[in-house]
Amino acid sequence: MLRRSLLAAAVSLAMAPAAFAQGGAPISVGAVEILSGPNAAYGTAIRAGLELALEEVNAQGVGGRKIALTVEDSAGNKDQAINAARKLIGRDKVVAVIGPTLSNEMFAVGPVVNERKIPIIGTSTTAVGITEIGPYVFRTSLPESDVIPVTLARAKARGVKTIALMYANDDAFSKSGFDTMKAAAEKAGLSILAIESFGSKDTDFSAQLTKIKSLKPDAVGISALVEPVSGVLLQARQLGFGPETLFVGGNGSNSPKLGEIAGPAADGLIVGSPWFVGKDDPANQAFVAKFHAKYGRDPDQFAAQAYDCMHILADAIGRAGAPEPAKIRDALLATKHDGVMGPFTFTPGRDPASTEGVVVLAMQNGKFGIAPE
Amino acid sequence: MLAQQLVNGVLLGATYALFALGFTLMFGVLRVINLTYGFYFSAGALLALWMARQGASIWVALPLAALGAGCIAVVLDWVLLTRLRRIQAPELSSLMVTLGGVLALYSALTSWLGPDIRRLPPGIVSVDAFHIGDIRVTAAQVLILGATALLVAALLLLMRGTRLGLAIRAMAEKPDAAQLMGIDTGRAAALVSFISGCLAGAGGVLIGLNFNAIHPYMGETMMLRGFVVIIVGGLGDIRGALLAGLALGVIEVMTAGYVASGLKEAVAFLILVAVLWTRPSGLFGRAVLRRA
């Protein structure tokens, strides 16, 4: 281990002076995403966003060089994610790592990459405590603690006074989203009638929903990935939940898949989003058109976040003066980027600084639209 | 609320029992912990989905998908286990072979079809719920209850009332002796695989219909509960699987509804450990299949 990192250090020292020579070898950047297994939808969307941005970056070049992106599959498994990151650092000599997809993977991979003093940037990791892993850990995704209060304020404006909360208790993303939702609900003065949990691979939620239904809350908040959220909504409708109950989703509900899987059962659900496909600004419209031309489908939030992240990283590598991890880290901290998510800067704690871009969406006929006031 | 929770529990239990029927049959007769069982379940659901999208009604898609899953089971059993049976490899080898095989199959299926959750076309069964007082039950749930009852009855009839059942039971008791008595054990094993595969496929279609979520890994998520049911019910015990499935469903729902939803899963596996400690051959004693 020591020998390998010494070797890596020696190699990067030797390469440094020639760093930005015209026509030099491509700068190696790695990504660790879920490309197989039940959560592959997220990683596949992220890879599509990264690759689209990469084409644009390489068309211009970064200091006369191109960026070579290697995407490794974590399969949603922490150990595999760590191995993937080690492979990227050891074999591909990457100067920065993008990913991993889920917060609980980041809690495993972040410390490993941070220890090697290589910047790692989560594009979809929204849990509390991600950037506290270490000084090389960044994220470009708005943490849920910034998005959920905006959503709950909208629910309150619609007359919601009581809420029941449901969450998947076996992944860090859903649990941390729940913690945030609970804190935000308390802060907003909503009274919490019940808290129910389930496993993220469960298909039966009837016991929890029956209990919640008997308490008659104005709203039900759900923090989980899109598949279990869809299952909850489908079963809620079977058990007789009607439009009088407002369903409020956490970040995991913010995927077009919700409409595809749950169909009309999802109608009425509201969710806060750092980005929306129908957002009417020219940069976003151009991105959506290019994505559609390349992949034949609309991008989702995960693709948009990844697209911005690749541009932010390429911009930082360009400003760093040399493709060295420490310099890239410093350049990242000074980021000022106007992306598809809106204006972007990092806080000193390496989280996104602005919540300007947050929009509240509502599901109607299986599709998200901007929620009516 | 109690009545609805009881109904929830019975319905969940029926899905567990339905899933476990073929698994316990395969285990009890062939004496192989065949982990590919979950794959037949996924395959049945995906086959029915494909047929439904071509415009077939559920009454056509369900039996055809079940038969298709049965054929897949026969082929996979033959490919994976024939060699091991011939050299009389220890049970652990067949367990590991089927584990490797099923993981390869799930991955291949996922890379072919994608990991997305798919839905059956809307309106394939009525989504309206029946109301009985405050209790709500959907058509898919009634279908699961009915199918489970029907399949248990048919299986018991086959095992107890036919010469084929006798041959299968003889084979479960002592394969060598059965062969000496003129039973073609290879053919009987293939038949058991076929029946198990059909049961798994039918279960996949019905459970996919109920939760409206069909994806390549759906069998894998059912496998752990399947293990609890067949061990608690007794290996190879069809009535045991039915009762254990129902009991597990009701206990899980009651735990989630009245104790804490976070303990739902813990309780299921606690039961498994407790049963293995106190009654290692299952709650209902000796396996029915092995009884003369």
pLDDT, tens digit (0-9, with 9 covering 90-100), for A201-238: 888 899 999 999 999 999 999 999 888 999 999 999 98
Three-state DSSP class for A225? Answer: coil
pLDDT at A14: 46
pLDDT band at A5 (very low <50, low <70, confident <90, very high): low
Q: What is the DSSP string of A126-189?
A: -STTSGGG-TTEEE-SPPHHHHHHHHHHHHHHTT--EEEEEEETTSHHHHHHHHHHHHHHHHTT
Range name among A5-14, A266-275, A318-327 with the lowest pLDDT average: A5-14
Range name among A47-56, A73-82, B267-276 with the lowest pLDDT average: B267-276
Residue percentage of chain B with pLDDT more than 90: 40
Cβ–Cβ under 8 Å, residues A261 and A232: no
How far apart are the C-alpha atoms of B235 and A238, rounded to whole Å? 35
**Residues in a beta bridge with A72:** A32
Is residue A10 over pLDDT 80? no
* Chain A nearest-CA residue for B12: A204
* Both structure tokens of A253: 């509900």
What is the interface pTM, i.e. ipTM, of the complex? 0.83
- Nearest C-alpha neighbor of A215 from the set A187, A245, A235: A245
pLDDT average, residue stretch A132-141 = 95
- Nearest C-alpha neighbor of B129 from the set A263, A367, A242: A242
Interface touch B111/A36, C-beta < 8 Å: yes
Per-residue pLDDT tens over the stretch A329-361: 999 999 999 999 888 999 999 999 887 778 899
Interface touch B262/A210, C-beta < 8 Å: no
Interface touch A203/B221, C-beta < 8 Å: yes
Interface touch A207/B217, C-beta < 8 Å: no
B103 exposure class (CB count in 10 Å sphere: 0-12, 13-18, 19+): middle
pLDDT band at A182 (very low <50, low <70, confident <90, very high): very high
pLDDT average, residue stretch B52-61 = 89
Residue percentage of chain B with pLDDT more than 70: 97
Is residue B57 over pLDDT 60? yes
pLDDT band at A15 (very low <50, low <70, confident <90, very high): very low
Q: Of A204, A227, A240, which is closest to B129 when you measure between CB atoms?
A: A240
How far apart are the C-alpha atoms of B235 and B39, rounded to whole Å? 20
pLDDT at B83: 84
pLDDT average, residue stretch B128-148 = 85
Sorted by sequence, the CB contacts under 8 Å of residue B84 that are 6+ apart come out as B93, B94, B97
CB < 8 Å to B129, chain A: 238-240
Q: Where are the domains of chain B?
A: 2-115+128-219
Cβ–Cβ under 8 Å, residues A247 and A158: no
Q: Which residue has the higher pLDDT, A251 or A232?
A: A232
pLDDT band at B285 (very low <50, low <70, confident <90, very high): low
Is residue A249 over pLDDT 90? yes
Per-residue pLDDT tens over the stretch A264-321: 899 999 999 889 988 888 999 999 999 999 999 999 889 999 999 999 999 999 999 8
How confident is the prediction for chain A on average, in pLDDT? 89
How far apart are the C-alpha atoms of A248 and A272, rounded to whole Å? 9
Cis peptide, bond prior to residue A100, ω within 30 of zero: yes
pLDDT at A13: 45
How confident is the prediction for chain B on average, in pLDDT? 87
pLDDT at A161: 96
Is residue A2 over pLDDT 80? no
pLDDT at B111: 86
pLDDT at B229: 93
pLDDT at B62: 92
Domains, chain A, in order of start with CATH, read 2-142+281-340 (3.40.50.2300), 144-273+358-370 (3.40.50.2300)
CB < 8 Å to A201, chain B: 221
pLDDT at B286: 58
Three-state DSSP class for B282? Answer: coil
* Chain A nearest-CA residue for B109: A37
Is residue B115 over pLDDT 90? no
Cβ–Cβ under 8 Å, residues A358 and A274: yes
Interface touch A207/B257, C-beta < 8 Å: yes
CB < 8 Å to A37, chain B: 110, 115, 217
CA atoms within 13 A on the CB side of A159: 4
pLDDT at A130: 92
CB < 8 Å to B265, chain A: 199
- Nearest Cα of chain A lies from the Cα of B178 at a distance, in angstroms, of 42
pLDDT at A19: 45
- Nearest Cα of chain A lies from the Cα of B62 at a distance, in angstroms, of 21
- What's at A145, amino acid-wise? S
Is residue B291 over pLDDT 80? no
Sorted by sequence, the CB contacts under 8 Å of residue A58 that are 6+ apart come out as A66, A67
Q: Which residue has the higher pLDDT, B276 or A95?
A: A95
Q: Which residue has the higher pLDDT, A52 or B27?
A: A52
Per-residue pLDDT tens over the stretch B181-210: 888 888 888 999 999 999 999 999 988 888
How far apart are the C-alpha atoms of A350 and A330, rounded to whole Å? 11
Number of H helices and number of E strands within chain B?
A: 11, 2
